Amino acid sequence: MVQQLTRMVRIGPFELSTAEGRSIERYRRAAMTTLSAVISKGAAFLTLFISVPLTLSYLGAERFGLWMTIGSVTVILSSSDLGIGYGLLCCVAEANGKDDRELARGYVSSAFFMLAGIAASFLCAFFAVYELIPWPRLFNVHSPTAVAEAGPAAAVFVCCFIASIPLGIVNRIQIGYQDGFENNLWISLGSVFSLAAVLLACYVRASLPWLVLAMTGAPILAVILNSTVLFAVERPWLCPQWSLANTRMQNRMLGLGSMFVILQLAAAIGFSSDNVVIAQNLGSAAVTQYSVPARMFSLITMVIITVISPLWPAYGEALARRDFDWVRRALKRSMEISLLIGLSANLLLVALAPRILRWWIGTKITPSFLLLVSLAIWGVLCAVSTAPTTLLNGAGMLKGQAAAAAVACVVNLGLSIYLTRRIGIAGVCLGSVIAQATIALPAYIYLATQLRRQLAEARIPL
């Protein structure tokens, strides 16, 4: 096993003229992407590790909770590109599988100009309603400083996020070509920029809006640099051109993207709105007691996604070449890996979390045993879900996922609100656990099983 992994980690590609060579090359690119992602996540973890105790002490519980709540909106806003980014990823992977450069050029240009228009529209709409939104009430903050900073901090965050919408095509292009390792290295540089900016903001005792700009704005510099290298040096033929924008291609990406929007919104509202639910029901300060342990457990899920997600474009490329045997083998291996990591790591963290928190932050965060167990179960369920959903995404089988996610979203949100009011902070996680275990996960496994049967019979529609 170790020898196989060592063989995969190399700069040069394997021979692509044979099915065996292409199979090994897919694993090589996935391995390189995983390795670079470890570096990227390590940089992000270092930023988190240093910034959380520093900013918690600097901001205080309420302002820190406000910062965490604003940051949690990222997932909710992630569908603001209408899923076009994910549609572009699938289409680029397909074009790569067909060795069709002109097809890829058309999709990239079509996506960029759509996203630029969306970003401009959102920016105008946000500032049109900015003064009408009661920001302190929305985030449930009460201290004079937090009340004064709530609106400006949210505005800075939204502006940075909107700026990243058209720039996001670079990420999708690199992942679609199975060059995710390059993108991850640029993300690592963005984390370094972010950490440096946060440290500077804390040193000069900057207000919360400046701290938000440091955390969310600095990584955009790395994205700009990545875009410059990609379009000027590595793949200049992909540089967006207005003349290459194509309505038919835009419609196809929108069709794929609409399903991703439903999936993203369901995940955001049902499974990533925990901080908002807690803030509204228990107060902004209670968010701190939940968000820090939740972030610790989320690192495990992050690792699993890091290992498995590089197979997404590989599945798309392999299916375009009708290499169904490779797809079946890759799915089996990915399920075994995700389950092994999910079970062992989450159980270990339940035992170690109190000690880690005391060493890391002191006695400011004291999670209950019920909360830790709930977070661990949630982590295992996410681990089990990752492998089948990655295959379904690569195959473009999104409607069934979207339907299951939408139902789970409604159930989860209702349960989270009810259980939070009944049993406290742990209730918000238990709501996610129940919805995922009874609705979403069974549906994903069923859909993946159906796809495997189609592959076995070579009847998959392409």
Q: Is the pLDDT of residue 43 over 50?
A: yes
Task: Calculate mean pLDDT across residues 294-300.
Answer: 86
CA-CA-CA-CA dihedral for 402, 405, 406, 412, to nearest 10: -170
Task: Calculate mean pLDDT across residues 253-262.
Answer: 81
- Amino acid 306: pLDDT: 81
Give the C-alpha separation, 453 to 447, whole Å: 10
Domain annotation covers residue 175:
yes
Does the CA dihedral 123-189-5-2 come out positive or negative?
negative
**Count: domains in the chain:** 1
Least confident segment among 39-43, 249-253, 340-344, 413-417 = 39-43
- Binning the chain into helix, strand and coil, the percentages to the nearest 5 are 85, 0, 15
Domain annotation covers residue 462:
no
Q: Is the pLDDT of residue 401 over 70?
A: yes
Task: Calculate mean pLDDT across residues 429-447.
Answer: 91
The letter for the amino acid at 407 is V
Q: Is the pLDDT of residue 462 over 50?
A: no
Domain annotation covers residue 66:
yes
For the whole model, what pTM was predicted? 0.68
Give the C-alpha separation, 110 to 244, whole Å: 7
Give residue 3's pLDDT band: very low, low, confident or very high (50, 70, 90): very low
Q: Is the pLDDT of residue 423 over 50?
A: yes
Closest CA to 190 of 158, 163, 222, 160: 222
Element (H or E) spanning 424, and its range?
A: none
Domain annotation covers residue 431:
yes
Does the CA dihedral 204-209-215-219 come out positive or negative?
negative
Can you tell me which residue has the tokens 């238990």? 430
Task: Calculate mean pLDDT across residues 167-177.
Answer: 88
Give the C-alpha separation, 201 to 215, whole Å: 10
The letter for the amino acid at 355 is R
Query: Residue 259 in contact with residue 399, Cβ under 8 Å?
Result: yes
Give the C-alpha separation, 359 to 353, whole Å: 10
Give 311's DSSP letter: H
- Amino acid 78: pLDDT: 56
Average pLDDT score, the chain = 83
Closest CA to 68 of 362, 357, 291: 291
Domain of 188 in residue numbering reads as 2-456
Q: Is 404 exposed, middle or buried (0-12, 13-18, 19+ CB in 10 A)?
A: buried
- Amino acid 448: pLDDT: 86
Least confident segment among 4-18, 126-140, 306-320, 345-359 = 4-18
Domain annotation covers residue 461:
no
Task: Calculate mean pLDDT across residues 226-241.
Answer: 91
Higher per-residue pLDDT: 110 or 183:
110
Give the C-alpha separation, 74 to 79, whole Å: 9
Higher per-residue pLDDT: 96 or 123:
123
Q: Is the pLDDT of residue 296 over 90?
A: no
Query: Residue 264 in contact with residue 84, Cβ under 8 Å?
Result: no
Domain annotation covers residue 262:
yes
Domain annotation covers residue 211:
yes
Closest CA to 317 of 27, 83, 6, 7: 27
Domain annotation covers residue 165:
yes
Q: How far is CA 431 from the centre of its chain?
A: 21
Give the C-alpha separation, 83 to 257, whole Å: 4
